[in-house]
Amino acid sequence: MEQLQLALVGCGGMAGAHVRGLEELAQAGIDDIQVVACCDLVEAQAQQRADEIAEFQAHKPAIYTDVERMLSHVENLDAVDICALHSQHHILAVACLEAGKHVIIEKPLAITLRAGRKILNAAIDNRCQLAVAENYRRSPQERARSWAVASGQIGQPRTFYWLEAGLRLGKWGWRNFKRDAGAGWLLDGGVHFADLFRYHLGTEARQVVARAHSFEPYRYDEPVEREGAWPVDVEDCAMALIDFDGGAVVQWTWQGSAPGQDFGKRVLYGSEGCIDWESGLWTRTGENTSNEALVEAYQNSLTEDERERLFPGGVENPISTELKNFADAVRGQGTPEVDGLDGYRSQAICMAIFESEWFNRPVTLAEIERGDLEGYQAEIDQALGID
C-alpha cells in the first residue's frame, strides 16, 4: 500500500502531539503515512517538527512558511494536517481543499460556525475527505464507557452530569483572546466534552439554555496571588442544561474563576445504573465494575478485526489512531469516524451556550447550526471578514 503523502500545517505545541502520534504508528510497524512538508509562519517551528519527524521516517520533510507556496511546490501531496490557531482554520482548510487535498483539522473545526460552514462547503465542492482531530473519544476508557452504554448496561440514559470548578486563571497565549480562539476553555477544551456527550448518548443535542460569564477580566503569571496580569476577553464560567433527542439531559458546568477548593464530578445515569468517570460502572443494586475491569471487559468483547481497526498494531494513543483512521478514509477504506459535520455539531453545542447567554433565552441546535443566531459570534465574523 502506497504511503499517504501528508503535510503538517501549523507546527506549534499540538503539532508536536501529532508528531508523537505518527512516531508511535511507525514504532508499531505502521508506516503508511509519510510527512513530506512542515509549514509554519515561524520557520524555526517548522524546522523543529521536521527534525523530529526525520528521526523516525526515512525522508526529512521540506520546510515552508507559506501554505500556498507549499501547495504549489510539493508534488503528489495527498492530504494536510492542520494544527494552527482557530482563527486560521477556515483560511488554511479552504485553501487546501480547493487545491484538492484531503484535510484533517484540529478541534474546534473553526473559530465560528459561519467559518465552519465555509470549510464544510469546500470539502463537498471539491469531493475531499474532511476529518476533525477529536481524540478524547478514542481512548480505551471512553471506548469502554460508550460500549457499556450502547450494550444497555446502565439502561436508558437519563441524566449526564459534567461538572468542574477551580482556579484556572493562568496565561495561555492566544487562547485567552476571542478573536484568536473563538472563546475560552469552554470551546477549546469543551468541544471535546460536547463530542463525548454525543458519542456516549448516541443522539444529537436539541436545545440549550445557559449562562456564561467573565467574572475575571485578567489572566496572571501567578493566579493565586493575582500577579503579572494581562486583560483578556474570554469567559471563565458557564452553566448549561442541554436536552438531547431521546430524552437525556446534560448538566454541564465549567468555572475557572473558583478560588479555594476544586470541585469535579462526571457521571452518566441511566434507568438501571450509572457510569462514574472516577469509580466505574454501578448497577441499580449497587454492584461496581471498576474502570480497569470495564476496559478489560470491553477489549475482550472485540473481534480481532475490530481491535485492529480501533487500536491498530496495539497502539492506544488516541492521536495515533485518529491519524490512521483519516489515512484509511483517504484511501477509500471507510469514512472518518469524526468527520466535518460531526465537528460542526459538537462546536454548535458550545456556541449554543454563548448564544443562549447573548439572547437571554433557550436556543435550539437547529437555529444555531443554520446560523440564525449569531449574536456572540458576530463580532468575530466581522473582525475577521467572515461573510
Q: Buried (b) or exposed (e) across 146-175, using 16+ Cβ within 10 A?
A: bbbbeeebbeebeebbbebbbbbbeebeeb
Query: Which residue in 264, 210, 267, 268 sits closest to 242, CA to CA?
Result: 210
- CATH code of the region 4-136+315-337: 3.40.50.720
Query: Which residue in 141, 57, 138 sits closest to 321, CA to CA?
Result: 138
- Specify the pLDDT at position 360: 98
Taking only the tens place, the pLDDT of each residue in 270-306 is 999 999 999 999 999 999 999 999 999 999 999 999 9
- Specify the pLDDT at position 387: 93
SS3 265: strand
- Specify the pLDDT at position 43: 97
Cβ neighbours of residue 206 closer than 8 Å, sequence gap 6 or more: 243, 244, 245, 364, 365
- Specify the pLDDT at position 270: 98
- Specify the pLDDT at position 2: 83
Cβ neighbours of residue 309 closer than 8 Å, sequence gap 6 or more: none
- Specify the pLDDT at position 191: 98
Cβ neighbours of residue 155 closer than 8 Å, sequence gap 6 or more: 270, 271, 272, 273, 284
Q: Where are the domains of the chain?
A: 4-136+315-337, 139-311
Does the model's pTM come out above 0.85? yes
217/357 Cα distance (integer angstroms): 18
* CATH classification for the domain delimited by 139-311, as one of 3.40.50.620, 3.30.360.10, 3.40.120.10, 3.40.920.10: 3.30.360.10
- Grid cell for residue 290: 471498576
- Specify the pLDDT at position 354: 98
Contact 76, 5 (CB under 8 A): yes
Query: Which residue in 244, 264, 246 sits closest to 254, CA to CA?
Result: 264
Q: What share of the chain is helix, strand, coil (3-state, %, to 5)?
A: 45, 25, 30
Q: Do domains 4-136+315-337 and 139-311 have the same CATH topology?
A: no
Taking only the tens place, the pLDDT of each residue in 54-92 is 999 999 999 999 999 999 999 999 999 999 999 999 999
- Specify the pLDDT at position 1: 60
Residue spans of the chain under pLDDT 50? none
Identity of residue 357: E
